[in-house]
Amino acid sequence: MDHHIVFGVLILALFLFAWGRIRHDFVALISLSILLIFGVIEPEKAFLGFGHPAVITVAAVLVIGKALEFSGVVDLLGKWVMKLGSNLLLQIFALSMLVAVASAFMNNVGALAIMMPIAIHLARKSGNPPSLILMPIAFASLLGGMTTLIGTPPNIIIATFRGDEFGEPFGMFAFAPVGVVVALAGIAFITLIGWRLLPKRVAKKSDSELFDIDDYITEVTVTNESKAKNVTIEELSEMSKADFQILGLVRSGKRIHAPDTDEILLSKDILIIETDTEGLKTFMDDTGVALVGGKKIRKDAVGSDKIAVNEAIVMADSPLIGQTAASLRMRSRYGINLLAVARRQHQIRRRLDHVIFRTGDVLLLQGREHLMFDTMTSMGCLPLARRGLRLGYETKIPLALGIFFAAIALVVAGLLPVQVAFTMAAIVMILTGILPVKEFYRSIDWPVIVLLGAMIPVGAALETSGGAGLIAQTVAELGKELPPWALLAIILVFTMFLSDIINNAATVVLMAPIAISVAKGLGYSVDPFLMAVAIGASCAFLTPIGHQSNTLVMGPGGYKFTDYWRMGLPLEIIIVVIGVPLIMWAWPL
């Protein structure tokens, strides 16, 4: 009876994961709660998942990754990358390799977030649309993560499943024989062929505008001093050289949609316009209008009050999502002004301060320059401009790398388990000042931690209730008619499918017990089947919702939902063709 309840809960969870309206961590908590209510999971065991070695390791790795970023290591890499020429193949290869190597030792999304501004800058500099570069490096972050134990949470979880099974988990580089070859093959495909399959979306306004996002929707007001006062909208269009479109007019609190061209503009009128960043600046200079809610952009201000304007993308875990500038009281809470919003493939019809923020929205923000980076970080936004070097951190590169490699050495030598070694490394990095204390909790992706902590007991319930054995028995019956490589391919492909629609950590928690039961039922070694799950969980290449890396590049790259399978489908086919023989060679049946 219990396994029927577990199956029902898992079907509900898969639906909610794919639906996407409820956050993944809350879906996991809902699933755990239902199993608690029906008595499938005992209350005293319900929250043991939060103390699971996999959860502790993931949290520690996230802290260490942020510490390496603050140490200045990434800034040095960024300076080197910026010296690349305008050759697109070289740019894609170098950026993909750097992101993959970084992803092998730190959070995938963190590695991608660090390199995104550099990639966009290179695209601007070379005259290429970011759409040709951003998806390749997003995919490279997933490929790099599959190469080491700490490269991605699924590998950590798989290792603990093996530890529970045999008393010895997979080691730090146990994933490398398969993962490195698959990652190199994937990067070779991305560099030589994959990017050619992507849409080359050139900005609509002019060939020189290289930042390929939809134009901003922003609001400007007619002041007493502006040239726009007492002129018609038609005359205003002739007055400015900017390429812009007037979407509406707000007068005395009432909005006029598509105002007539002979409408005379009055003082305090608010114009809702659509234009790009350069067009906005030109329009303001030509007409003398002012940004609604923002200070006049100044380039000559000095000191702590210097005003900066930055573009930033709303990340998947941002507290802005589902809120508006008005509901957040953005100016009073964050000390920052929202100047404009751009959203790919969706028309914005609301007033600026009532636009509901979504993942991937690109915001034009204005605030004090020396506080801008910290403010955007606290808002869960990624700056889309090359960040300046953090002065004072460069000298801590040797210390940070020394602590990091010492932790790896302790794990490889078998002196300490990975969760202990990396927790100690994270603590030392805090104590030595490499990572500021205020960044400690901020660096941990808490939704992922909650997701893991809640899903691990759910995955265990699948096994203890007999559900995993029932599925494995069904697969084993089919497997009697199939060769071993075909079974591995089925496990790999089905894991890929799940990771495209739900969180990859949740995918592993569900698939690992099934893979173990299938292997045991047919008398095969468990290791190759666990490796197939690990590889498949890192291959969320078909949709933007399968992994945060894919979501992160959707807005700046101007991608549609259907663009991902263009490069993702052939990449997954290549991985299956190469991965299955590699798994059987490295981990014999």
Torsion angle of C-alpha atoms 118, 121, 123, 124, degrees rounded to 10: 180
Asked, for residue 537, whether it belongs to a domain, the answer is yes
Beta partners for residue 255, in sequence order:
250
pLDDT for residue 491? 92
Instruction: Concatenate the DSSP letters of all residues of 136-183 into one string.
Output: HHHHHHHHHHTTSTTSSHHHHHHHHHHHHHHS----TTTTHHHHHHHH
Assign 299 to helix, strand or coil. coil
Which residues are within 8 A (CB) of 355 and not within 5 positions of it... i.e. 6 or more apart? 217, 324, 325, 341, 348
Structure tokens at 576: 């299956």
Structure tokens at 306: 């210097």
Report how far residue 240's alpha carbon sits from residue 123's, in angstroms, rounded to the nearest whole number: 28
> Do 285 and 309 share a domain, yes or no?
no
Q: Do the beta carbons of residue 124 and residue 142 sit within 8 Å?
A: no
First vs last Cα of the chain: how many Å apart? 34
pLDDT for the residue 190:
95
State which amino acid sits at residue 85. Answer: G
Do 130 and 226 fall within a single domain?
no
Q: Residue 81 is encoded by which pair of tokens?
A: 């990358």
Whether residues 189 and 43 fall in one domain? yes
pLDDT at residue 164 is higher than 70: yes
The verdict on residue 296 lying in a domain is no
Q: Final residue of a domain: which of 270, 291, 312?
A: 291
- pLDDT of 391 higher than 50: no
Over 50: is that where the pLDDT of 107 sits?
yes
My answer on whether 163 and 22 are in the same domain is yes
For residues 461 and 524, membership in a common domain is answered with: yes
227 and 336 fall within a common domain = no
- pLDDT at residue 4 greater than cutoff 50: yes
- The pLDDT, as a whole number, for residue 302 is 37
Q: What is the pLDDT of residues 368-388, one digit of tens each?
A: 877 787 788 788 887 765 444
The model's pLDDT over 208-232, given as tens digits with 9 standing for 90+, comes to 333 334 456 788 888 888 888 898 8
Q: What is the DSSP letter of 15?
A: H
Q: 72 φ, ψ to 5°?
A: 105, -5
Q: What is the pLDDT of residue 206?
A: 34
Q: Are 312 and 211 in contact (CB under 8 A)?
A: no
Q: From the centroid of its chain, how far is CA 114?
A: 11
- Percent of the chain surpassing pLDDT 90: 21
Question: Which of the residue ranges 126-135, 161-170, 179-188, 227-236 has the most confident prediction, judged by mean pLDDT?
Answer: 179-188
* Residue with the larger pLDDT of the pair 387 and 419: 419
Last residue of a domain, one of 257, 291, 325: 291
Q: How many helices (H) and strands (E) does the chain have?
A: 24, 9
Report if residue 108 sits inside a domain. Answer: yes
E strands present in 215-361? 216-221, 245-251, 254-257, 270-275, 290-291, 307-314, 336-342
Name the pLDDT band for 136 (thresholds 50, 70, 90).
very high
Contact between 146 and 152 under an 8 Å Cβ cutoff? The reply is yes
Mean pLDDT of 188-197: 93
**Chain centre distance of CA 427:** 26
If asked whether residues 32 and 64 sit together in one domain, one would say yes
How far is residue 432's CA from residue 400's CA, in Å, rounded to a whole number? Answer: 9
Give 423-433 pLDDT, tens digit per residue. Answer: 999 999 999 98
Domain boundary among 262, 291, 320: 291
322 plus 357 within the same structural domain: yes
Asked whether residue 402 is domain-assigned, the answer is no
Provide the pLDDT for residue 345. 53
Residue 541 has pLDDT above 60, yes or no: yes
Instruction: Single out the residue of 312, 284, 286 nearest to residue 298, CA to CA.
Output: 284
Q: Which of 170, 183, 65, 158 has its CA nearest to residue 539?
A: 183
Q: Give pLDDT tens digits for 12-52.
A: 887 887 776 787 788 889 999 999 999 999 998 888 888 88
Beta-bridge partner residues of 382: 313
Read off the tokens for 146: 């599959």
Mean pLDDT of 414-430: 90
Three-state DSSP state, 381: strand
Regarding whether 539 and 461 lie in a shared domain, the answer is: yes
Residue 530, pLDDT score: 95
Assigned domain for 428 exists: no
What percent of the chain clears pLDDT 70, i.e. is strictly above it? Answer: 89
pLDDT of residue 301: 36
For residue 371, the enclosing domain spans 303-383
Residue 264 DSSP symbol:
B
Per-residue pLDDT tens digits for 46-100: 888 888 887 888 888 888 878 887 887 766 776 677 777 778 899 899 999 999 9
At residue 304, the pLDDT reads 39
CA 589, CA 584: separation in Å to the nearest integer?
7
Answer whether residue 338 shows pLDDT above 60: yes
Contact call for residues 119 and 141 (beta carbons, < 8 A): no
Question: What average pLDDT does the structure give for the chain?
Answer: 82
Handedness of CA 54, 422, 500, 579 (dihedral sign): negative
Q: Is residue 406 part of a domain?
A: no
Alpha helices (H) in 243-339, listed in sequence order: 277-287, 325-328, 330-334
Most confident of 238-247, 331-340, 389-398, 526-535: 526-535
Sign of the Cα torsion 78, 82, 87, 88 reads positive
Residue 300: pLDDT band by 50, 70, 90 thresholds?
A: very low
Say which residue, 491 or 362, is predicted with more confidence. Answer: 491
Looking at the structure, tell me whether residues 136 and 192 fall in a common domain: yes
Please report whether residue 410 resides in a domain.
Answer: no
Judged by DSSP in three states, 310 sits in: strand
- Residue 75: both structure tokens together: 């800034």
Distance CA(483)–CA(291), nearest Å, equals 67
User: At 564, which amino acid appears?
Assistant: Y
Q: What is the mean pLDDT of residues 292-307?
A: 49
Looking at residue 528, its pLDDT comes to: 95
Q: Which of 136-140, 211-215, 289-293, 547-551 has the lowest mean pLDDT?
A: 211-215
Closest CA to 131 of 554, 569, 544, 568: 554
Position 344 pLDDT exceeds 70: no
- Quick one: 132 and 243 in the same domain? no
Q: How does pLDDT run across 251-285, given as a tens digit for each residue?
A: 887 877 778 888 888 888 888 887 766 677 788 88
The yes-or-no verdict on residue 551 having pLDDT over 80 is no
Structure tokens at 322: 């589902």
Residue with tokens 């939902």: 561
The pLDDT, as a whole number, for residue 178 is 94
| CA 429/CA 172 separation, integer angstroms | 20
Give the count of domains, the chain: 3
Report residue 18 CA to chain centroid gap. Answer: 17
- Same domain as 164, residue 35: yes
Residue 586 pLDDT more than 90?
yes
Q: Which residues of 436-454 are buried (b: 16+ CB within 10 A; e: fewer)?
A: eeebbeebbbebbbbbbbb
Question: Between residues 545 and 12, which one has the greater pLDDT?
Answer: 12
CATH number at residue 232: 3.30.70.1450
Token output for 359: 């993942």
Statement: residue 542 has pLDDT above 70:
yes
pLDDT for the residue 215: 59
Task: Tell me, yes or no, whether 394 lies in a domain.
Answer: no
What three-state secondary structure class fits 249? strand
What is residue 429's predicted lDDT score, i.e. its pLDDT? Answer: 92
